[in-house]
Chain A
Amino acid sequence: MKFGLLVSEGPYTHQASDTAYQFAVAALARGHELQRVFFYHDGVYNATRLTEPPQDDRHIVNRWSALNAEHKVDLVVCVAAALRRGIKDEVLAPGFRISGLGQLVDSGIKADRLVTFGD
């Protein structure tokens, strides 16, 4: 099956991003396709390379970047949500790209299932 994911909450405060990541890994392991992961609302904070969690904690941002490096998963950050929260190209972690909300609607059209991880 072809999945699109929507992540609507920021990392660490909320579990949404962790759950989305676990879902993504499990779906790929089962041979499903991940069409795109779209980051909206505070979800855009998943994309900043300035993130530095304590050594003994999971690195949520790098984990997404690795998913892109290993599986070419399209990681898209909403431009309007990003700009109003100070997320720009110059702070993007590897593997992320900034684009419009049309990419979320496109996911809804092209994916068999669009799954939301949020509040």
Chain B
Amino acid sequence: MKKFMFVNRKAPFGTIYALESLEVVLIAATFDQDVSLAFIDDGVYELVKGQNSKAIGIKNHSPTYRALDGYDVEKLFVERESMAARGLSEADLLVPVEVLSSAEMAALMAEQDVVLSF
């Protein structure tokens, strides 16, 4: 079993990276690997509660993060500095996460076999 970390760095809308990252995560979850997700930079916006994308005509994929639990993907890490810089706290997020400092996040990344950054 390998350790896969999916690093989400982009806002949920504006580009397709967040959505297509989620699609890989859902597939990876079926491969019986050790899967975790990291949210840094604008990627922290992907987890913000109450997203409504109706006005831009793009599907809101954020409810899928709540379904990850059902795929046994339970390790979601959010970088504290990225949240703080954007005025966000854990209470703003739609799923339970573990908040890490950037140093702790770096240490966790160093432990991974495969890091895919989107």
- A-side residues, CB < 8 A to B, are 6, 8, 40-41, 80-81, 100-102, 104-106, 108-109, 114, 116, 118
Contacts and interface: CB of A to CB of B under 8 A. Distances in A.
Given A41-B16, A108-B4, A108-B113, A101 B23 contact: yes
B101 interface: no
B35 to A, nearest CB: 9
B90 to A, nearest CB: 29
B27 A114 contact: no
B31 A105 contact: yes
Contacts of B113: 108
Nearest to B4: A108
Interface residues of B, number: 17
B117 A101 contact: no
Leading 4 A-B pairs by shortest Cβ distance:
A108-B114, A101-B27, A105-B28, A105-B31
A115 B62 CA distance: 28
B101 to A, nearest CB: 25
From A108, A116, A118, residue with most partner B Cβ within 10 Å: A108
Contacts of A104: 24, 27
B68 to A, nearest CB: 16
A37 B23 CA distance: 19
Contacts of A116: 116-117
B4 A41 contact: no
Given A6-B116, A105-B31, A114-B116, 20 more contacts: A41-B17, A41-B20, A80-B20, A80-B23, A81-B20, A100-B27, A101-B24, A101-B27, A102-B27, A102-B30, A104-B27, A105-B4, A105-B24, A108-B4, A108-B28, A108-B33, A108-B113, A109-B2, A109-B31, A116-B117
A105 B23 contact: no
